[in-house]
Chains A and B, each alone.
Chain A
Amino acid sequence: MTITRVKLENFTVFESLDLEPSPGINVLVGANGTGKTHLMKVCYAACVFYDPGEDAFLRKLVSIFLPSNNHPLGLVKRYLEDKTTNIAVSLGSRMLESHITKNWGDPPTPRMGSSGLNWSATKVDSVYIPPKDMLANAPGFRSLYAAREVHFEETYLDILDRAYLPPLRNPAEFVPAHLQGRLEAELGGKVTIHGEEFFLSGEQGEIEFTLLAEGLRKLGLLWLLIRNGSLRPGAVLFWDEPETNLNPKLYGVVIEVLLELQRLGVQIFLATHDYVILRELDLQAKEDDKVAFHSLFRSEETGEIECHTADKSLDIHPNAIMEAFDSIYDREIKRSLPGLA
């Protein structure tokens, strides 16, 4: 099951966005504040909400966006005048539509609802990996979250729920064993869980995740998600800034695994600021691979967020990442060739 279309109106930073994602890998690039993470979160919320009731989807949105005082009106694009927020997400032939409208009163309250009530009939396996690692801080977090009002986006709870899932009896039934082996070779071992603590078990014995480099924890998380079936064919993976704390030398193996998962039928969304991630995808993707690069940018004419989609990273326009490189090289040339350039 893949996300086939997302339409947003007056939602957070978006005045109007209509995106048809690739069933394979979708790379979101853009400067800070152009809505990459928001777009992924709204799609993730559509995949994971399961409570009955018209406002269940919106409650999930609130739990992962955390607007002030958990007020859904915080998700409405900030205008001087009040407008209605519309959200439509299509999964295959099914479409979920939601709206939030300000209801004047004192204090103002939202009127909201969703249609597509058979939406949750088929559960979509989905994983949202936030930029900050949670595995090292996992012990006690789920109990704390259940008992107290802690100001953490629910994605941090959700990723721990996925990581703690017991392994499949036969993960190779869904995902080829060599994929886990590829990650194990880079990790130098396998991930084990004792109580609520994660360890890397290898030739050096067991190393606590708190003592492990964060980049390796990310590889460990990917290994767990494959082994426990969270990333099986038909699943949707959202990964916000995979490059955070990951040495660029490890990007190659991460992209190799993601491309392989895509070939198996996992739909993937990546938000990135990293040139090497883009180029690894260009260089490793084969002809039949489905990779789309979506550039989110603020239009100079309207001031609103727009999206341009390309098949290759070099064709992305505008490309905030390359603009940074252009600026660096421009300054390097001016320094090396004073008075010439």
Chain B
Amino acid sequence: MTTVLEERDLQITISHAEAARRFDGPDHGLTHCMNAVDFVVEFSDRLLFIEFKDPQHPDSNLSSDEALSAYYQSERIDQELVYKCRDSFLYEWAAGRTEREVYYLVLIAIDHLTSADLDKKKRDLDRKLPTGIPNKWERPIVTGCGVFNLASWNEQFPNLQVRRLSSQA
């Protein structure tokens, strides 16, 4: 099954999944009180929470490398990513759909991000979510996470290809 979903200027084509749905949309019903990741993708053994951040979209007012770097490094982005993931987990738990392991994939569409930049953000998220099983827990909220830019995302996930709509119109 192939599902195509869009978040503003980014379009993801999901193949080989059991199901894929927009999560942060009208069907959610609780976005007035809970944060939500953009998409949830279901496989037989895991759930993927997917969040897109697109500060380089065509109408963005962040044009310079410096402004984009400041956006990327801001604490606000980290908090937003963390709360979206946790609230989404809580929502899915209450809906009885969290028996499978949850993985959190974040696409931050800034071209100039290097592996070192992505690695730092991933380590920050690992610590803040947190991923894995901290002491006194019996199961994780999120088993693992990853942070990518557009190029590294498409390199890593051939079954979750993302394209920018404006550049391929």
A: which residues have CB within 8 A of B? Answer: 275, 279, 314, 322, 325-326, 328-330, 332-333, 336-338, 340-341
A328 to B157 CA separation, bound complex (whole angstroms): 17
List the A side residues contacting B46 at CB < 8 Å. Answer: 340
When A336-B122, A340-B157 are in contact, do A325 and B116 touch as well, CB less than 8 Å?
yes
B158 to chain A: closest residue by CB: A341
9 CB < 8 A contacts A-B: A279-B116, A325-B119, A329-B118, A330-B115, A330-B156, A332-B122, A336-B126, A337-B103, A340-B156
Majority secondary structure, A binding face: helix
List the A side residues contacting B114 at CB < 8 Å. Answer: 314, 322, 325
User: In the complex, which of the residues B48, B119, B152 contacts A328, with contact meaning CB atoms closer than 8 Å?
Assistant: B119
A328 to B116 CA separation, bound complex (whole angstroms): 9
Are B103 and A332 in contact (CB-based, < 8 A)?
no
B45 to chain A: closest residue by CB: A339
A103 to B153 CA separation, bound complex (whole angstroms): 58
Are A332 and B119 in contact (CB-based, < 8 A)?
yes
User: In the complex, which of the residues A279, A326, A336, A340 contacts B115, with contact meaning CB atoms closer than 8 Å?
Assistant: A326
List the B side residues contacting A325 at CB < 8 Å. Answer: 114-116, 119
A-B contacts counted at CB < 8 A amount to 48
B48 to chain A: closest residue by CB: A340
A330 to B131 CA separation, bound complex (whole angstroms): 18
B55 within 8 A of A: no
Number of interface residues of B (CB under 8 A): 19
Are A336 and B146 in contact (CB-based, < 8 A)?
yes
B119 to chain A: closest residue by CB: A329
- Output the residue of B48, B122, B156 with the most chain A CB within 10 A: B156
User: In the complex, which of the residues A275, A328, A337 contacts B146, with contact meaning CB atoms closer than 8 Å?
Assistant: A337
User: Shortest distance in angstroms between A294's beta carbon and chain B's nearest beta carbon?
Assistant: 19
B139 within 8 A of A: no
List the A side residues contacting B157 at CB < 8 Å. Answer: 340-341
Are A341 and B119 in contact (CB-based, < 8 A)?
no
- Output the residue of A325, A330, A341 with the most chain B CB within 10 A: A341
List the A side residues contacting B152 at CB < 8 Å. Answer: 329
User: In the complex, which of the residues A275, A326, A328, A337 contacts B144, with contact meaning CB atoms closer than 8 Å?
Assistant: A337
List the A side residues contacting B105 at CB < 8 Å. Answer: 337, 340
B76 within 8 A of A: no
Interface contacts beyond A325-B115, A336-B126: sample of 10 additional A-B pairs, CB < 8 Å, sorted by A: A275-B116, A322-B115, A325-B116, A329-B122, A330-B156, A333-B122, A336-B144, A337-B103, A337-B105, A340-B48
List the B side residues contacting A279 at CB < 8 Å. Answer: 116
Q: Contact flags (1/0) for B8-37 with A, using CB distance below 8 Å?
A: 000000000000000000000000000000
List the A side residues contacting B48 at CB < 8 Å. Answer: 340
- Output the residue of B114, B122, B126, B131 with the most chain A CB within 10 A: B114
List the B side residues contacting A329 at CB < 8 Å. Answer: 115-116, 118-119, 122, 152
